[in-house]
Homo-oligomer: A and B are copies of this chain.
Amino acid sequence: MAEKPEGRARGEEWWSTEIIEMRPGLIRLRGYPIEDLIGRVSFPAMIWLMLCGDLPSEQEAALLGAALGAAVDHGPQAPSIAIARMAATCGVGINSAMASAINVLGDVHGGAGEGAVAFYGEVAAAMDGSLPLEEAAAAQLDRFLAEGGAFVPGFGHRFHPIDPRAPRLLGLVRDAAAAGTVSGRFADIAEALERGIAARKGKRIPLNIDGATAVIYGELGFPPPLTRGLFVLSRSVGILAHAWEQGQRAERNKGPLPREWLWAYEGPSERRLGNAE
């Protein structure tokens, strides 16, 4: 182990962090010696500490854990899961199969939850400006629709008439609000928005998984863009499970369809290079 250089090496400032302190024989996360944390705080509490800088209560950690657990998988219809399975047959490590999949949890695939947290936050901000709940929700919906918005983030699902995860998560938030763990404000906002959407569209478009986890993340105070990262942590579990399952099979080099199915050319007919080329 090399000695610490005299004074402060300039590279230190370049790589400074408030997350982890390291010295030989010492690791502190956000100030806590790691041996204090291990076995005493749950994994979701560790995630919280790393991201937010302080430890949550066990009730808060449990709510975070519920949101993380609820979104672990939605099957190989999701491009991320399909990619994980295909990657697992290509001769790369499981970390790389996971990376190719996580990489596509972008604005369209992984961004709806983030959008919902931000959307709720706008309503909450209007309420802070003393607008009542229903009016704040209505104003936000009207602005969204006036700006050409089609799908309110967090509501409706192409596959599920009712997303079975959403009511269950909302119930947990209600329980936590009753226990004083959270305020319940974001649950109120989500329900007001659901009513407002129904009034404007003439049919119920229920809360989906992204909207329901967004209620939890909003209640717990996570800034919207960070919740994309929480979704990545959650979906990584399904990505790993599918990469692993596929990797246990004997297939190699798995394409999206059986080989004999793909004849799908729609471009120009045969043409040849001219002699002058």
Please list the residues of chain A having a beta carbon within 8 angstroms of any beta carbon in chain B.
1-5, 9-44, 46-47, 50-51, 53, 55, 62, 65-66, 68-70, 72-80, 82-83, 85-87, 89-111, 158-165, 167-169, 171-172, 225-226, 228-229, 232-233, 236-238, 240-245, 247, 252-273, 277
9 A-B residue pairings within 8 Å (CB atoms): A3-B260, A19-B242, A22-B75, A90-B110, A92-B95, A95-B106, A100-B103, A229-B240, A233-B240
Given contacts A22-B262, A109-B253, 14 further A-B contacts (CB under 8 A): A1-B161, A9-B263, A13-B264, A20-B75, A25-B162, A43-B68, A51-B237, A55-B277, A77-B259, A78-B255, A87-B104, A91-B107, A100-B103, A233-B233
- Do the beta carbons of A272 and B79 come within 8 Å of each other? no
- Do the beta carbons of A93 and B270 come within 8 Å of each other? no
Q: Knowing A38-B66, A82-B15, A268-B30 touch, does A22 contact B90 (C-beta < 8 A)?
A: no
The count of identical subunits is 4
Contacts of A171 in B (CB 8 A): 39
> Which one, B66, B87, B100, contacts A39 given CB within 8 A?
B66
Q: Knowing A90-B106, A240-B233 touch, does A165 contact B18 (C-beta < 8 A)?
A: no
Residue of B nearest to A265 (CB): B21
**How far is A74 from B76 in the complex, measured between Cα atoms in Å?**
23
Q: Knowing A77-B259, A102-B102, A256-B256 touch, does A265 contact B16 (C-beta < 8 A)?
A: yes
Contacts of A167 in B (CB 8 A): 35
- Do the beta carbons of A256 and B39 come within 8 Å of each other? no
- Do the beta carbons of B12 and A262 come within 8 Å of each other? yes
CB distance from A211 to the nearest CB of B (A): 15
- Do the beta carbons of B79 and A91 come within 8 Å of each other? no
**How far is A229 from B169 in the complex, measured between Cα atoms in Å?**
27
CB distance from A235 to the nearest CB of B (A): 9
Contacts of A100 in B (CB 8 A): 83, 99-101, 103-104
Q: Knowing A161-B25, A229-B244 touch, does A103 contact B107 (C-beta < 8 A)?
A: no
